[in-house]
Amino acid sequence: SARDGNALRKIYVMNADGGGQRAITDGSGNDLWPHLSPDGRFVAFASNRTGNNEIFVADLNGGTPVNVSNHGGDDNWPRWSPNGRRIAFHSNRDGNYNLYIVNADGTDLRRVTNDAALDQWPDWSPDGQQLAFRRGMDVYVLEADGEEQNVRRLTTLPATLDQIMANRSPS
């Protein structure tokens, strides 16, 4: 939200009744795409506070957000794994948008897709075994262990559609 006359977007939390609003980020960059960890203690988000979009993790109890992606590429759309140990996101760090997974502490970053099409908008299956994502204009699924040969196409949509994002329901 851009508040207080600051054009940069901050991330806020509040109680379910709308009260108790407080900023989690300080507005030192545009903070986007927040995603709450499964245990409700942390938020992952993208921010350009370092000059380009990176993936950060912030403790909801305070402290400085930690950059877990650390690269000059455009890193966006962080999504927590159901067990809260890993974060999936998309990035153009290798020239084209592909999917990456990193441990929540910033270790063991790895690319899980490598395709000429744009791979974006990942979302975990409820059991954490698969990622659904958009490749080009269609929705695909792959095993989260990063085996590219296990990619399955789920949709075939007309090229006139735009902004399709995969989102898994809990059931």
> 77-133: per-residue pLDDT in tens?
999 999 999 999 999 999 999 999 999 999 999 999 998 989 999 999 999 999 999
Look up residue 153 and give its two tokens.
């196409």
Q: Using the structure block, give the residue that is written with the tokens 């600051």.
A: 6
pLDDT digits (tens, 9 = 90+) for 43-82: 999 999 999 999 999 999 988 999 999 998 999 999 999 9
Nearest to 30 by CA among 4, 53, 3, 57: 53
Closest C-alpha among 157, 69, 168, 154 to residue 109: 69
Query: Of how many residues is the chain composed?
Result: 171
Class of domain 12-153: mainly beta
| Max Cα–Cα distance, the chain, nearest Å | 49
Please report, for the chain, the start and end positions of each structural domain, with discontinuous segments joined by +: 12-153
Q: What is the pLDDT of residue 164?
A: 52
